[in-house]
Amino acid sequence: MSNELYTYKFLNDSSALVEYKNAFDANGSPKKLEVLEWIHFKNTVKDSFTCLTYSEQNKLIAIYATMPVYFQINGEKIKGCQSLDTLTDSEYRGKGLFTKSAQVIFDAAPNEKYGLVYGFPNGNSVHGFTKKLGWTLIDPVPFLFKAFRTGYFLRKIFGNNLGRILDFNLYRKRKIYLEPDEEIREIEFFSEEATKLWDIFSKKIKVAVCRNATYLNWRFKEKPQENYQIKGFYKRGRLLGMIVYVIKNKHQGKIGYIMELIIHPSSYQAGKKLLNDSHNYFIENKADACLAWCMNHSPSYRTFKKNGFKILPEKLRPIELHLGYRNFAVNEDILNNRDNWYISYSDSDTV
């Protein structure tokens, strides 16, 4: 494929992936090759769907990357992709290469049997997605937060000095009361019981990335250079809840993230006790705050709220993000209704 002086190619081998990494490194946004391989060649769809744009001198000058994933939409399994990395080389900016590279992917999507692309454009890129690439926004990104230390948010609002002076713990560790037939233990591998739990949890969810055992193992067990805490709540040996959480040094603080909380509808206690487990971990490791993504219609929303999570005000959000999609082959009435979607930090490509 060619257009003007540029050539557009699809990412399809490891040598091109090295070029991809080198282009980001050269433009001040370094990537890890092992993580790129996990995204593009080891994903659950076993497909790569990324456009590389080359100059007339065969220099890689722009990238529009997506990550293939399987969606479940109104009970049907559909191939989709998440919009990820975008790059235009510093010498070639202002030529519309972001739009052109993305359009190559969007034009090819129907023939490649992709039903939709979704993602989280930031404040710098959202205009291009909506005005030039036909995206629909279903904002806001559903940030919830729980503060563990006062200083972090006081620094955000009033500056470093006051935040340092008035920095203290808001919580103590919690005693987790387990019945004789209950236990919380590490999940070393997601088995079919995890798929069954997700199927029950998501029964009324119409739009979500399919979080079956295959996906969960790929996302949390196989992702390189990560150390997620993965716990299951069991009653009489039966899995009734799963939680994934982690602490990252991000946004000028030590931030906990609830990546996923999947609980059986019959067991509010499973969610409560798993969140208490994460609560104690965050306190032990001196986290400043915890973030989660959870929409107010999601099955786990009530559990988060009862555990002290609040809606994060706009001015305290660590980054401007938007939630949107481009539809290729799905019933638009289903996608366009925010109440149909399920989103969690599993969907984030940066945590």
Whole-number average pLDDT of the chain: 94
Nearest to 133 by CA among 157, 109, 149, 150: 109
Residues 284 and 167 in one domain: yes
Dihedrals φ, ψ of 30, to 5°?
Answer: -65, 145
pLDDT for the residue 167? 74
Question: Which residue range forms the structural domain that includes residue 219?
Answer: 143-320
In a domain, 91, yes or no: yes
In a domain, 262, yes or no: yes
Structural domain count of the chain: 2
In a domain, 347, yes or no: no
- Residue 278 tokens read as 């994460």
Residues 127 and 172 in one domain: no
Residues 173 and 239 in one domain: yes
| Cβ contacts of 7 within 8 Å, gap of 6 or more | 1, 53, 54, 58
Residues 224 and 104 in one domain: no
In a domain, 345, yes or no: no
Q: Sign of the CA dihedral 234, 236, 239, 240?
A: negative
In a domain, 147, yes or no: yes
Instruction: Give me the CATH number covering residue 48.
Output: 3.40.630.30
Q: Among 110-114, 130-134, 226-230, 314-318, which stretch is predicted with the lowest mean pLDDT? A: 314-318
Residues 100 and 23 in one domain: yes
CA-CA distance, 66 to 298, in Å (whole number)?
Answer: 26
Residues 13 and 123 in one domain: yes
CB 253 within 8 A of CB 288: yes
pTM for the whole thing?
A: 0.94
pLDDT for the residue 43? 98
Residues 241 and 157 in one domain: yes
pLDDT for the residue 314? 83
Beta pairing partners, 62? 53, 88
pLDDT tens for each residue of 60-75: 999 999 999 999 999 9
